[in-house]
Amino acid sequence: MIILAIDQGTTGTKCMCFDRDQKPLSTASLEFKQYYPHPGWVEHDPEEIWERTCEAARKSLAEAGATAADVAAVGITNQRETAVIWDRATGRSIRPAIVWQCRRSADICKRCREEGMEESIRRKTGLVLDPYFSGTKLTWIMENEPEIARRAQAGELCFGTIDSWLLHRLTAGRVHATDVSNASRTLLFDIHTMAWDSELAAMLGVPASLLPEVRESSGLFGQTDPEAFLGIEAPISGIAGDQQAALFGQACFHPGMTKNTYGTGSFVLMNIGDKPRLSSHGLLTTVGWSIAGNVTYAMEGAIFITGAAIQWLRDGLGIISKASEIEALASQVEDTGGIYFVPAFVGLGAPYWDAEARALIIGMTRGTERAHIARAVIESMALQTADVVEVMQQEAGIPLKELRVDGGASVMDLLLQYQADLLQVPVRRPVITETTALGAALLAGLGIGFWKDLEEIEERWRLDHEARPNAASHERMLAMRKGWKRAVERCLNWEQADQASQ
């Protein structure tokens, strides 16, 4: 028997099969189209995501030599904050999904801030008031698409993050639900009461009838419908947002344990135990997971663009032809030649939270080459992480002892060494770097007794590579961080600076 994990990400959908030893038996990934209808706007086609999910699952099962009858359970992990609206009766999406990267609700956030909503939102949700989260995306839809607003008020429509969308389709429309980790990313969920908050929904103009039922991260959500999903009839017993799933997949089960996922963006999460602690310096407090009535909270630093910058080098500038070339190119030079790259293509996340910041490369000369830019892109991943970790240690009151890493870019030893030198702690990459899918599988397996408990999972975590800090590089790293912070200052409040110059 196997666990099928669906890892629905920002640029593609991946499905993996795991056996009882938590060994990955197969991986199948399919990309889907990104839509940019206006500057700063990002959309997906939910129907294409569903189609890619089915196809990736079919390929994963075939690669594992498994059949529908071999699937003991299904777990889902997903890009968070992306907002999907669909018809409750037909199960079909009625508009493009608004992706977490989309900044269209920046003016709504500004208005809410001016109306004094920010502190109430932060206190109840642990989040900052930013277009990143799904709540203001829904506000935008309600204010700009009157027919959808009318149908929402009439109870004809469903809202969900991608996990809810997939769950609805997997169960042939029988279940409209989400888990606590995804609910905690909407600006509508009170992380203290662990329930949707009617006051927040009213403030943001979101009809309560749109919202899914909220359940624990591990447990029965429903059964897959064999006609809808590849002949599989199995429990869907684990759901978590991608970064919480990665924290779980990294076996960060104790307070202070921290991981960073270098994906499209980068997300640093620290387990802070069973009580939420609110940040006052740009970090998020989020629900990590809930199992058997026990809630685990995490402090998070969300970095919007890291791996997506490598795609930009490939697709936008043509500096590389495939993402895997970047490390070799960057290794052709010993340093960046004095340049810094701040990847604020969609604003800056933690700890700055400036929706109007814009990307820049600064410090170039006629001697600047492709390799310098490639190295600056890699170093920007580590520098942004260092900014987050610095604040996280202060606010959590827990010194970092190690950083566990995963995600596509974690294969680069060059990045991990630079990260270790910046943080002056060991940076550890596990044997299984697909920790988001693993986390979903583990939650699903726990939900049906496929695995016994957290101790069994923790014992199976295995180290692949450890980058240890070079103490001799510490002074150079401090100087680099000063230059980096100056570069960041140049791209903050870009819109205000542009207006001042006119």
* Rounded CA separation 494/352 (Å): 13
Who wins on pLDDT, 40 or 229? 229
Q: What is the pLDDT of residue 178?
A: 98
Q: Indicate the pLDDT class of residue 477, thresholds 50, 70 and 90.
A: confident
Output the known binding site: 10-11, 14, 80-81, 132, 242-243, 264, 307, 311, 408
Q: Annotated binding site for sn-glycerol 3-phosphate: which residue ranges? A: 10, 80-81, 132, 242
Q: Given CA atoms 376, 378, 382, 387 in this order, what sign does their dihedral have?
A: positive
Output the six-digit token pair for 315.
Answer: 């697709």
Binding residues for ATP: 10-11, 264, 307, 311, 408
Rounded CA-CA distance 82/97 in Å is: 7
Both structure tokens of 427? 């940076």
Mean pLDDT of the chain: 93
333-354 burial, b at 16+ Cβ within 10 Å, e below that, comes to beebbebbbbbbbbbbbbbbbb
Pairing of strands 266-273, 97-98: unpaired
CA–CA distance, 221 with 168 (Å, rounded to integer)? 10
pLDDT above 70 for 102: yes
What is the residue-wise DSSP string for 129-156?
A: S-TTSHHHHHHHHHHH-HHHHHHHHTT-
Residue pair 447/220 in contact by the 8 Å Cβ criterion: yes
> What is the per-residue pLDDT across 299-352, written as a single tens digit (0 to 9) for each?
999 898 998 899 999 999 999 999 999 999 999 999 999 999 999 998 898 898
Domain chopping of the chain, boundaries: 2-243
Q: Given pLDDT bands bounded at 50, 70 and 90, which one contains residue 471?
A: confident
2-243: which CATH architecture? 2-Layer Sandwich (3.30)
pLDDT at 496: 53
**241-274, pLDDT tens digit by residue?**
999 999 999 999 999 999 999 988 898 999 999 9
Query: Can you say whether residue 67 is alpha, beta or left, with left for phi > 0 and alpha for psi between -120 and 50 degrees?
Result: beta
Give the pLDDT confidence of 29-65 residue by residue, as tens digits.
999 999 999 988 999 999 999 999 999 999 999 999 9
pLDDT category of residue 139 using cuts at 50, 70 and 90:
very high
Residue 277, token pair as written in the block: 């602690």
Model confidence pLDDT, tens digit, residues 270-288: 999 999 999 888 899 999 9
The packing angle between helices 474-491 and 370-396, to 10°, is 90
Binned at pLDDT 50, 70 and 90, residue 478 comes out as: confident
| Nearest Cα residue to 319 out of 361, 357, 356 | 361
Q: pTM score > 0.75 for this model?
A: yes
State the angle between helix axes of 474-491 and 413-423 in degrees (0 to 180), rounded to the nearest 10.
100
Where does the pLDDT of residue 11 fall: very low under 50, low under 70, confident under 90, or very high at 90 and above?
confident
Enumerate the known binding-site residues for glycerol: 80-81, 132, 242-243
